[in-house]
Structures are given as C-alpha cells and as structure tokens.
A and B are shown apart, each in its own frame.
Chain A
Amino acid sequence: MSRPRPRWERCVMHRDGATPPFLAEWFSSPSRRVLLIGGAGFDPRSTVVAKLLSERSKASLSTLLLREHRPLSPTGLMQGAEENIKFFKDKLTDLDIRDVQIFSPNDMALTGGRQVAEIARGIQWEDYTDVVIDCSALSRGIVFPLVKSVLDHPHSPRNLHLLVIDQASLDDGIIAEPAERATTMHGFKGRLGLESSQQAAVLWLPQLVTGQQATLAKIFSGLEPKPHDICPILPFPSQDLRKPEKLITEFRNELESTWQVDPRNVIFASEANPLDLYRSILRIDDERGEVFRETGGSLVVLSPIGSKLLSLGALMASIERDFPVVYVEALTYKFTPGLEVQSFSDKKLVHLWLKGEAYENTH
C-alpha cells in the first residue's frame, strides 16, 4: 500500500555552525518582518538567538518573550531570568513580554499550554513574513502547543523556523522537579482515551533520560489504556557514546520487570538530529498501521522528556500524525551553571525550517 509522503521528509535543517550564516543571509532583506518568540527564563541559552538576530539581521525584528511562572521557582533562577530580561530590554526595541502561569494556583493543574494557545491566537500573524521560535529556553509544554498554533492558524506567516541550541548535557543538567501527575500536552491528545481507539494496539515510545525513572513511572501509570507494547528511545549516536548502555543499566528494573520490554524493541535515535527520530517514529507507525489495520488499528503515544533537540523530532511526528503526547510538567527546576555553560556558542545552534518558501514548490 502506498503511503503519503511524510510532510517533513525533506526538511531543511542547519547545524554544526551552518545556522548563523543561513540566518544572516535569510534575514538580510529589510523587507522581511520577523517575529521572534522565545523564553524569558533563567536558561543561559535564552539570549543567544535574540543576540544573533539583532546583530546580524537586517529584517525588522519584533520579539515576544514568554515568561514561564512555576509555583516553586527558587530565587536564584528568578534572578537569572531577571538578568536575561534586562539583556533583552537593552538589546531589543520592539519587545513584548507575556507571563504564562504554567500551573493553576489552586491545585497545580496544568494551564500553561492553554494560555500559550490563547496568546498565539491574539497575535496579528499577517504582520509578519517569518516567525522564529527559539525553543532553547522554552519548556516543551509551551513549545508544542505554540508550534501547532502557528501551523494551524489560517493566517500564520509564510515561514516558520525553529531554533534550538544543541547541548544535551545542558538539558541533562537542568533537573526538573516534576509535577504530581502525567498529562497529555495541550492540543496533543490525539485519539487517546476515545472509544474509537479502545481496540487499538497502543505503543508507548518513552524517551529514556538519566534520573527520570519517577517521571516515566508517572506517565506509565497515567496511561489509559495501558500500552500493549513499549519501545524505549535511546539516544544513539550521542555525545557520550556509552549513554545508551548507562541508561539501560539505570532503567533495568523498568525494562525487565515493570514494562517488560522485549530487548529487540529499542529505538536508537541520533541525539543531534531530530529528523532521525521523526522518521523512525513515522516508519514504526506505518508498519504497525498495516499490521493492526484489521484489529482496531495502532495508536502511538509519545513521551519526549529528554534532550530538547530530540523532542523536536517527536513534536514533528505528533503534529503530522496526531499522536498523543503524554508528559510530566516541571514544577520547578534546579540548575547550577557550570563551566560548560559559559562556553557554548551559536555554533551549536540548530535550525529546522518547518514551513515556508523552501517547500512551496514541493508541497
């Protein structure tokens, strides 16, 4: 059976130092009107893209910063955020900062995704030719609905670019204090829980991350219906080539006893290339779709909790196939800036061009 071509089969991606020259060239025309959406948080990567665009682009630049508020944020991180905001104010002229309460103050239910979708709805997209979402300092719970809002909007700008700084070690160094329970990401519920998918064979694709057993346990416990199969995603190749082995050792109880994963059911996805994971997920879904077509179909559930770059692969797959995304939001973060953080540069910037002129003749 012929399958439709994946939407991002030939996705334009820049990395390994190719991103800054591309951005400089692409935004060299003053006729471009760019809306940069980024995070105004403690993450030291917050300012990199804004700095790059403000210094090297000739396009008119408007910036919308989303400041994520979490109930238990420590003072140190708040100060870090303030410093970053000061930088933005000094550097950027057309700047709007919007607060997003990630949790409801009453019972800590997730509200951030819904708020960001509302913010996106209020934007005059017609005013811009390009929207650049800098995912580096935004949490997944914000990035996913935001990207979907832009793609779904009938008047969204011609070009949608995602930028993220590829530094898995920094992502690993930001330790999240997880919320109490797992939830589906706003706008990414898919067919999960629907009567029409009750007969479907559920496949859960959790991304294994150091120290996140409890988070994955919450997701597994919250999944209804319970998955029939589980294929953990391991980052390989990765900067630390022994990472998959370490993760297998760390998750041995889950793999052997709790989830009972067949050793052959492991997905290796390049830590530095989100398209690798995107393609793997789609391929798996295609093959399962055929196998389970007569018995209620297949339902793939994604849980991207690890490196941000890898989770963009999951984002693309879930947008394309309406996969449910189940995750646990962070109540707060712990982060101690180390030497490694000081040394990152815009060379680590990865660019994904999700929609726009590059595809207009192919799509």
Chain B
Amino acid sequence: MFNPFERRATEYLRDNEAFLAVVTPEPIRVHLAKAGSEKSLYDRLVVIRGTPGSGKTTIARVFETSVVSTVLRNEEAHKPLMAALDECGALQDAQPVLLAARIPLESDYREIWELPYPDDTRNALLTTLLQARTILAWKRQLDRMSGSPTNVRLVAELGSPGAQSTAGADTFENLAKTAARIEESVLRVIGALVPPPLEELAALDADYYRPFEILGSVEIQFDGGPTWLLHPLVICDDANTLHPTQFAFLQRWLIRRELKVGRWLLTRLDALRPEEAFALAHQEEQPSELPGVTVSREVIQINLQSERKDQKSAFRKMARDMANRYMRQMPMFATRKLDDFTSLLSDKPVRLTASKLESLRAKTLSEAKRLHISVDRYESILKLITDYGKKLEEDEQLALLLILLNRYATRVDQKELFGQEDPEPVRPLKIDSGLEEAARLFLLHTYERAYFFGFHDLCDASSENAEQFLRLSAILVDAIATRLIRNQGAMLSCEGQTKLLRARAEEFIKAWNFPYYEKVRLLVEVIASKCRSESLRATAWLGSGANAFGIPQEEFEQLSRKHPELANVLKYGMAYNAFTLVPKYDCQGKEWCLIELGGIACLHYGLTLKRGGFIKSTVDDVLEAIQ
C-alpha cells in the first residue's frame, strides 16, 4: 500500500502542485514571519540552521518563484500558505516580489577545495560557480512558471562594458547563456581526473564575473497580463557540505553589502566545529569569525530547533496540519472523510486485566508488610491517592501506592517503624504530575501497560523534527489502514500505539547510519539504561524520571579541546537527533550541560518524554561509555 508518510522528504516531490499539497505554512510563519515583517529577509544574509529533516529544504522550496506562482494560480486551495508568504514579505498585493531559487551546494562546491590552486583561486571558482548556477536556476524558475513571461528585463545599470562584463551580459537571455558556458567550464575543471594547470584557468574570467553585484531586480512581463518587478534571492542549501574554511569564506562573501541580491544560507548544525554546533543549537552567538562584522546586525540567524517554549506548540500545530495533508493523499482515508489524524489516536489506555490488577494489589500489600507499614497508614496513603484531584485509574492508583509506601518508609526513622505503631514521616507525602508519570512508567515496565500514546506524545517523540514525525506516524497510519481493511474502527488503541512506536524506534536505532553512529549508539545505551534503572527506583526519587546525563558545565566547556573524538560523537548524535544538548542548566546551585536523549531513544528504552530529569555524571563517564 502506498503510504506517503514513508516518503518523508517533500523534496522528492518534483511537481509543484504535489509538493504544495503536503506543505504546511506553520514553520514559515513561526521562523520567518518576524524577520519578514521587519523587512530584513531579503537585504542581508539570512542563515537558517536545523537538523536533517527539520524542514530547511521545504522552506526554501516554498519561496521559489515557480512555487509561489503556483500558489497564486490556485489561491483558494493555498490560502494559509499565501498568508504566510505575505507575512514574510514574499508577496505584495497578491503578486510575487522575489525571483528566488534554491541552489543545493552539493559535492561540486566542496570538490573545489581539493583542487591544487591557491586559496584565492579556489574561492573565486566557488563564487563563480555559485553565481552562474544561480542565474541558471533563476531562469529555470521563470521557465517553470505557469504562463511563461513574454519579456524579462534586467533592471540594472548595464550601459558600460565594465558593468556588462561584471554581470556577464546585457540581457537576461545572454546572462543565462554566459552562465551556462561558465558552469560548464568550471565543472570541467572540477570533474577532471587530473585538474588542469593554473594558467589554463585564466580563460574562465572568474575574477570579473560578479553578477550578484549588479543585479538589483528583474522585470518580467506577461502577454496582456501584469508586470512583476522581482528582487533576486539566492537560497544556498546544504552549506554544511562545504569545507569549514570554504563555509567561513562563503559566509563572509555573502555578508558583503555590495551584493544586491537577497541571500539565504541553509545549513545543518553539524556544519561547523563541534563547539560551534553546541552553541548554535542553543542560539548563543558565536565569537566573530568575521572581522569587522557585527553578526547580530548584519546577519539574521534562524534556528529551526530551539529551546523556546512556544516552539513546542508551533511544532504540534505544524505536525497536525502536515499529517492531515498526508492523510488526504491516501484514498482509503479520503473516501471515508478521515482527515483528522489526532482523532484516530486514542488517549485512553485500557486498564490492567483483573488478574494483573490483583497481582499489583497483592504486591502493594506485601510491600507494606515488608516495610512494616501499618494497616492504618496503608489506608491513609490510599486515601491520599483517592482524594487526589485528578481521576486516576485503579492500576495507576495502585502503582502510585507502591511508590508512596516506599517514600513513606524512607521518610521515617527505621527504628520507629519497629517500635512505634504508626510514625509520621519527616516530610509529608505529596502527589504531583511527576509522580503520576512515575507510576505509569512503572506500569509500562512491569505490566507493559500503554505509555506512549496520543498525538502530543507522538510530537514529543519526534524531537521537533518533521521527518522523524512522519516516519513515526507512518507505522501508525499503516496500522489504522489495516484496521479499516478489516472493517474495524479506525481509532488506534493506546496499547497498539505504544507497541508500534517502540518497535519503530528500535528499527530506527538499528538503522542509524551516520558518522560515529556506533559510538553514538553506545552512549545512548549507557545513558538510557542508567536513566531507566534510576527512574524505576521504588521511591521514584526522580519523579517523572530521567532521560539525560548532566555534566558539570565547566567540564563540558573543555570537552572539545580535550576529547575531540567525544566532541564528534556528540556533534553527530546531536545532528541526527539521537540526543540534544542543554547547556547551562541550573540545578542545585550548579550549572550543568545535559546530554538529553532524543524521542526515539526514549521510546525504545521506555523513558519519559518529559524534559529536565537527569543523572549526574562526568565527562569521564561519557568517555567510558563510548569505549
């Protein structure tokens, strides 16, 4: 059965209409609207960072001119997207204002760094290829637009021969021809088995070719239709492919105010050195690698994964919209008018069976006996639970009772337990949501009761990564479809969701396939098993449980210098959502850096998806884990 959730990346959809059918405007609004409303998206460098699958390429593609023109052609169907583009300043009076194209900076650009030429030459080749390809990509955008323009005019001062040679030509058509010629020549150099001698590069004119400095805007006319004045925008995707020195150079080059075109640089967190990736993950500004540039003023930095609280609800909104769009593509759901994914995921777990419940009750009694807790105290703790504001199921109540019995035992003097009939605890027993969570976690691990269910858990397990969300959802969608085929109700039980999600998480971890993945897996295993054993302690001292290691901040700051391999393990683990880093986390008067497991690891090892619980650790412990 065709399952569009398995397809994952929207970049695989060639057709604009098919692409737009699954695109949700939420990330554009959340990440770009603010800068867009301040009109700072198209006149300076914008750097967008995110983990793989976080939606960078999708965002880039939405802004491409041919896509925008498709949106405008079918305004009614794409109203929300149109509104988002409008908020970002990509539309004005329902007309596009950008000539935008996405340029994937794939391996060709990185190959330039391996050529045996001086740095200046290599950098010139890089910018030459980028500019030539951008011109060609802009032309392709215009060609792909519905109702091709009849006339394309450059709005630039091209009177002088100097300006013409800088731009490459005097008309848009000729500009494209020059760009095609230059692209071919540069690629011949890059692709040659043995590169030509430096002298032969003179014919490329790489030093003079600088169309980004000339092209202010492009006017396009349609036959009997409107005239659009478009501002060129280059969107450099996958900049992480570049050599670090190239990346720094390109960033410096794109910051330059001489450039008249808008420019975006999209990159993964792992593009930079580990310490920079760690800092960027948490939006700390880097010390300037760019002399003479105030990064905060001249560069707009957008991080698709951030610690902001509103991000979580924005992601949920986006995920819901995205899932519903994907479901509408499946005839099985569309014909039944099942287009609300959240309503198909049950959030009411089935209580334990009578026999399991009986065994749990017996366990509480035997535990009370083992701990020398009186019958009265047992009853009073039970009353505390039944009086607790929230309505808990019987199995949850008993699991909670088990925890509270143990907490009580640790809060009284052990001698008193034998002497006095019913001593009072040093601190009164209290129930909170953390303890509720601990009870449910206990039930998961002891009785395999459902724990991961409902749309919110699914979103939390996705680590705010769209691709991960789709891949996790895919297995649930398959199961729902199977139910429909069998004429069963569409709603998927909590038990089914927990089982399927954990199985999928296990598959994901087995299929990890990125640099240092084996060491990342070792580290995840060690953190997870330690967190699980501590979370399942009888007293549930960690409340809802832990899913992180905490390293003293001062130790962590030395990490990339003292332990480069570990730094790489953390960098790649973080880039691929195996874990996230939460630096400068205050706890007990001390600063920690948390290595917090991602949603996939939490699902697989049965750990809480709630954040904040951690086990104190050291860099040495982490080093030992990856050996």
Contacts and interface: CB of A to CB of B under 8 A. Distances in A.
Nearest to B9: A221
A177 B512 CA distance: 10
B3 A257 contact: yes
A257 B110 contact: no
Contacts of B108: 189, 193
B2 A257 contact: yes
A108 interface: yes
Contacts of A104: 114, 243
B424 interface: no
Contacts of A98: none
Contacts of A224: 104, 106
Given A118-B194, A195-B179, A107 B244 contact: yes
A343 interface: no
Interface in A76-115: 104, 106-111, 114
Interface in A171-227: 177-181, 183-184, 186-187, 189, 193-196, 198, 213-215, 218, 220-222, 224, 226
B541 interface: no
Interface residues on chain A, size class: 35 or more
A256 B517 CA distance: 28
A131 to B, nearest CB: 16
Interface of B: 1-4, 6-9, 11-12, 14, 104, 106-108, 110, 113-114, 136, 140, 179-180, 183-184, 187, 190-194, 241, 243-244, 511, 513-518
A353 B1 CA distance: 46
A253 interface: yes
A214 B511 contact: yes
A198 B140 contact: yes
B6 A149 contact: no
Contacts of B194: 117-118, 121, 149
A152 interface: yes
A145 B1 CA distance: 41
Interface string A155-182: 0000000000000000000000111110
A1 interface: no
Contacts of B515: 72, 108, 177, 179-180, 331
A215 B512 CA distance: 11
Contact of B513 (A198, A214, A221): A214
B417 to A, nearest CB: 55
6 contacts: A117-B194, A121-B194, A181-B241, A189-B108, A215-B513, A260-B2
B243 A109 contact: yes
A181 B113 CA distance: 17
Contact of B110 (A109, A149, A220, A222): A109
A79 to B, nearest CB: 18
A184 B518 CA distance: 26
Contacts of A179: 515
B513 to A, nearest CB: 3
A345 interface: no
A238 B18 CA distance: 39
Contacts of B11: 221, 226
Given A121-B194, A213-B511, A253-B6, A109 B113 contact: yes
A7 interface: no
A194 B183 contact: yes
Contacts of A195: 136, 179-180, 183-184
A107 B243 contact: yes
A148 interface: yes
A28 interface: no
B419 to A, nearest CB: 61
A142 to B, nearest CB: 13
A363 B437 CA distance: 77
A187 B3 CA distance: 38
Contact of A109 (B3, B114, B184): B114
A145 B6 CA distance: 36
A147 to B, nearest CB: 11
Given A179-B515, A180-B515, A110 B9 contact: no
Contact of B193 (A149, A181, A220): A149
B180 A189 contact: no
- 8 A-B pairs closest in CB distance: A214-B513, A257-B6, A189-B191, A183-B107, A187-B193, A195-B180, A117-B193, A195-B136
A111 B193 contact: no
Nearest to B516: A72
A104 B113 CA distance: 11
Nearest to A146: B193
A258 interface: yes
Contacts, number: 98
A145 B192 CA distance: 10
A186 B179 contact: no
Contact of A194 (B8, B187, B514, B518): B187
Interface of A: 72, 104, 106-111, 114, 117-118, 121, 145, 148-149, 152, 177-181, 183-184, 186-187, 189, 193-196, 198, 213-215, 218, 220-222, 224, 226, 228, 253, 256-258, 260, 331
Nearest to B519: A72
B603 to A, nearest CB: 19
A145 B516 contact: no
Most buried by A among B106, B108, B511: B106
Contact of B114 (A114, A178, A187): A114
A224 B11 CA distance: 10
Given A214-B511, A253-B6, A258 B12 contact: yes
A196 B180 contact: yes
B187 A193 contact: yes
A38 B194 CA distance: 21
A249 B241 CA distance: 33
Nearest to A187: B193
Contact of B514 (A145, A152, A180, A228): A180
Contacts of B8: 258
Given A186-B193, A260-B2, 20 more contacts: A108-B515, A109-B107, A109-B113, A145-B193, A180-B515, A187-B191, A187-B192, A189-B187, A189-B190, A193-B106, A194-B183, A196-B184, A214-B511, A220-B12, A221-B12, A224-B104, A228-B14, A253-B3, A256-B2, A257-B7
Residue with the highest number of chain B CB atoms closer than 10 Å, among A114, A152, A196, A253 = A114
Contacts of B6: 253, 256-258
Nearest to A109: B110
A212 B241 CA distance: 22
A210 to B, nearest CB: 13
Contact of A177 (B187, B192, B518): B518
Contacts of A214: 511, 513
Nearest to A195: B180
Contacts of A222: 106-107
Contacts of B12: 220-221, 226, 258
A194 B184 contact: yes
A296 to B, nearest CB: 12
Contacts of B104: 224
A226 B13 CA distance: 9
A22 B179 CA distance: 53
B223 to A, nearest CB: 23
Contacts of A114: 114
Contacts of A178: 513
Contacts of A220: 12
Nearest to A103: B515
Contacts of A186: 193
Contacts of A148: 193
Contacts of A177: 513, 515, 517-518
B4 A257 contact: yes
* Residue of B11, B104, B114 with most chain A CB atoms under a 10 A cut-off: B114
A152 B191 CA distance: 14
B415 to A, nearest CB: 56
B319 to A, nearest CB: 19
Contacts of A253: 3, 6
Contacts of A149: 193-194
A187 B12 CA distance: 27
Given A214-B511, A258-B8, A106 B244 contact: yes
